[in-house]
Amino acid sequence: MELHDRTMGEPVVIISIDGGKRPPAAVGFIDENHATQTLLNDPDRTVFHAYGVSAIPTTVVIDPAGRTMYRHVGFSEGMEEQFSQEIETLLAWSGQA
């Protein structure tokens, strides 16, 4: 969520997608953390299948041409900074940084 705030004003879109029904615990987490990024629900798992998501969380960084450039399964301390660096790299490659 902090990453979304840091990339505001950049040509970057951050979307969180749930597969299936969003559990009450997730709703509470979203509310407590004041999520600002777009939150989508994918009950038919169309997006999950399109990007080969088999575990949650999976992070997919897609370039402006729609190509998957980075993929991460799981999350650990410090990964948000890695995501930020990957986004900065893509922006520089595309001439938008």
Query: Which pTM does this prediction carry?
Result: 0.69
What gap in Å lies between CA 69 and CA 61, rounded to an integer? 6
Q: What is the pLDDT of residues 48-66, one digit of tens each?
A: 888 888 888 888 888 878 8
Confidence of residue 1 (pLDDT cuts 50, 70, 90): low
Q: What residue ranges do the domains of the chain occupy? A: 2-93
3-state class percentages of the chain: helix first, strand second, coil last, to nearest 5: 35, 20, 45
Confidence of residue 96 (pLDDT cuts 50, 70, 90): low
Beta-bridged to residue 61, according to DSSP, are 70
Whole-angstrom distance, CA of residue 84 vs CA of residue 4: 10
69 pLDDT band, cuts 50/70/90, is confident
Q: Which fold has domain 2-93?
A: Glutaredoxin (3.40.30)
Q: What is the pLDDT of residue 20?
A: 73
